[in-house]
């Protein structure tokens, strides 16, 4: 019986649907882990071969053939270490979310995920059938219990593995980032390991996939619930941990490097950067173009884009109108200079005037209102999309969650684009992130952060003309969107009932806009997108 076991945690950034490419990554990583560090077992994330989430790709016959071929290729090419590989397993008409132990060129055991999440961004019951049996495998004389992600969020799977004489647990995961998620993961893992008195290896994927970002943060816990190793967040890599058999045959991990926990602002900012980088790169865009207004939202979006892609791949365009202040012009130019991105200034005044002239007869007898404001936004969209089409650069939008919630955005105007980096960031969070980014080097002028927010679509316009102060608006929105609180419950928290009613009516009325918005990085407990399914047409009265 061996006295030590070296496990490699392969925290990889994978591409959904690229089975051949993902298999090649597995082969390369497993070979390197064994050759360079003599790893005995290499653990890969959940659904590594397909990427996560594969969604309806799973139903394609060609995809099934690629998965089966990819699994065979990994078995042929990996010799030396055992590997635990997540993949979709097809059995007749059923599909399982499985983890295979591959040893000596063959699949030695398969664990089928028992707990299938069907909440928030997860809808695994649409695709998979649950497993029911524990899977405990032998690796170099150690009995390893295999689990897949949600299996540890309920007690039964770990208890079954313990009953089958597991000595340690290896859990493969595709756990997406949201604020404070790592604290929650480690709390759940601690409950499981202390319940069964077994150490745990938790390997998570990293990278962006549409709205989701996976932060990695893989870790190892001893049987007492202490974190003895943690991989860095938002970084690809292979991380190693040794287990030793000590007195009375007890298996314990040898403490390794523990990456420090990051601040909330740091984790959110890193998630936004990674989400933008992977979305742009995985789609093969040469870069991005975006509008720069001189306000804090576009300033933060510009910083994220430059950090994600490099200044040479970012083009910022200021598009002034008659209502654009000299301060906004100066600040936008300064933001572009500080970040070193390409900067253009293109006036929309001629387009705006021509459009008003064309519509003069249609608008006759009606006072100026949101129609004229929205025309300006749509003029800007025409310029940005023209640049996008001509250069191949993807258009980023700059709206925040507070605006998207209440419809303070123009359909086919500033909402138009390919990706929305700060779509899930409230206005108050935008300010916090701007201050955080400036702490590592000033790129957003302080007066951009300090000045009252304005769309500058009419004379001396301020957001507060149309909306409650963000210090009131954002807590109401968070309580309604993320906690599903009613008007009565919000009033009990101290909010003015009339204000709450007005805000919730705006949220309800603007669902049609959100359905037409581009995807954006999810960072909250509930974002507009995969986990927000609100009917456009509905008669519900609060």
Distances (CA, A) of 321 to 46, 201, 456: 50, 57, 9
Rounded Cα–Cα distance for residues 366 and 147 (Å): 65
Element (H, E) at 273: helix 264-282
Burial of 7 (0-12, 13-18, 19+ CB in 10 A): buried
Choice among 29, 139, 149, 379 that is catalytic: 149
Distances (CA, A) of 276 to 50, 226, 279: 21, 34, 5
Answer for the pair 207, 45: CB distance below 8 angstroms, yes or no: no
Rounded Cα–Cα distance for residues 463 and 454 (Å): 5
Instruction: Say which DSSP state 153 is in.
Output: G
- Closest of 331, 358, 329 to residue 346, by C-alpha: 329
Rounded Cα–Cα distance for residues 109 and 95 (Å): 17
Answer for the pair 24, 30: CB distance below 8 angstroms, yes or no: no
Rounded Cα–Cα distance for residues 271 and 215 (Å): 7
Residue 113 catalytic?
A: yes
Handedness of CA 124, 127, 133, 138 (dihedral sign): negative
Choice among 29, 46, 75, 456 that is catalytic: 46
Distances (CA, A) of 529 to 34, 378, 383, 533: 41, 24, 27, 8
Answer for the pair 230, 217: CB distance below 8 angstroms, yes or no: yes
Answer for the pair 283, 422: CB distance below 8 angstroms, yes or no: no
Choice among 29, 82, 113, 456 that is catalytic: 113
Q: How many residues does the chain have?
A: 542
Q: Name the residues annotated as catalytic.
A: 46, 113, 149
């Amino acid at each position: 019986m061996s006295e030590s076991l070296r496990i490699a945690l392969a925290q990889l950034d994978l591409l959904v649907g690229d089975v051949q490419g993902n298999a090649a990554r597995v082969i390369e990583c497993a070979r390197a882990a064994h050759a360079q560090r003599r790893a005995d077992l290499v653990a890969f994330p959940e659904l590594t071969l397909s990427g996560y989430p594969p969604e309806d790709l799973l139903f394609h016959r060609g995809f099934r053939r690629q998965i089966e071929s990819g699994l065979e290729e990994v078995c042929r090419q990996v010799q030396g270490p055992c590997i635990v590989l997540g993949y979709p397993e097809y059995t007749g008409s059923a599909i399982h979310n499985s983890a295979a132990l591959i040893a000596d060129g063959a699949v030695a055991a398969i664990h089928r995920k028992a707990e299938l999440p069907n909440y928030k961004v997860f809808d695994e019951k649409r695709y998979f059938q649950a497993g029911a049996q524990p899977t405990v495998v032998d690796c170099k004389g150690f009995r390893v219990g295999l689990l897949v992600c949600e299996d540890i969020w309920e007690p039964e799977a770990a208890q079954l593995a313990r009953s089958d004489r597991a000595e340690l647990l290896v859990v493969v995961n595709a756990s997406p980032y949201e604020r404070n998620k790592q604290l929650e993961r480690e709390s759940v893992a601690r409950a499981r390991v202390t319940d069964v008195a077994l150490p745990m290896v938790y390997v998570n994927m990293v990278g962006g996939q549409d709205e989701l970002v996976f932060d990695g943060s893989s870790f190892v816990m001893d049987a007492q619930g202490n974190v003895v190793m943690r991989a860095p967040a938002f970084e690809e890599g292979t991380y190693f941990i040794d287990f030793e058999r000590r007195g009375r045959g007890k298996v314990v991990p040898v403490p390794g490097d523990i990456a420090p926990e990051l601040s909330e602002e740091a984790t959110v900012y890193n998630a936004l950067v990674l989400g933008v980088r992977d979305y742009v790169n995985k789609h093969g865009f040469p870069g991005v173009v975006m509008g720069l207004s001189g306000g804090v939202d576009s300033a933060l979006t510009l910083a994220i884009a430059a950090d994600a892609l490099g200044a040479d791949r970012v083009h910022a365009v200021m598009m002034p109108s008659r209502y654009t202040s000299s301060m906004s012009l100066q600040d936008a130019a300064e933001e572009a200079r500080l970040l070193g991105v390409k900067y253009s200034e293109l006036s929309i005044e001629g387009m705006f005037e021509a459009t008003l002239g064309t519509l003069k007869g249609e608008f006759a007898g009606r006072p100026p209102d949101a129609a004229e404001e929205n025309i300006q936004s749509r003029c800007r969209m025409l310029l940005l999309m023209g640049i996008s089409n001509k250069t191949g650069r993807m258009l980023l939008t700059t709206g925040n969650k507070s605006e998207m919630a209440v419809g303070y955005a123009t359909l086919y105007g500033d909402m138009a684009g390919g990706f929305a980096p700060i779509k899930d960031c409230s206005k108050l969070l935008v300010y916090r992130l701007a201050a955080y980014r400036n702490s590592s080097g000033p790129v957003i002028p302080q007066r951009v952060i300090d000045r009252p927010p304005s769309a500058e679509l009419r004379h001396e316009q301020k957001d507060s003309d149309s909306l409650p102060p963000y210090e009131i608006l954002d807590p109401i929105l968070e309580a309604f969107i993320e906690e599903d609180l009613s008007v009565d419950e919000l009033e009990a928290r101290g909010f003015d009932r009339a204000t709450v009613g007005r805000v919730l009516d705006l949220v309800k009325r603007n669902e049609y806009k959100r359905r037409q918005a581009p995807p954006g990085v999810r960072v909250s407990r509930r974002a507009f997108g995969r986990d927000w399914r609100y009917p456009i047409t509905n008669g519900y009265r609060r």
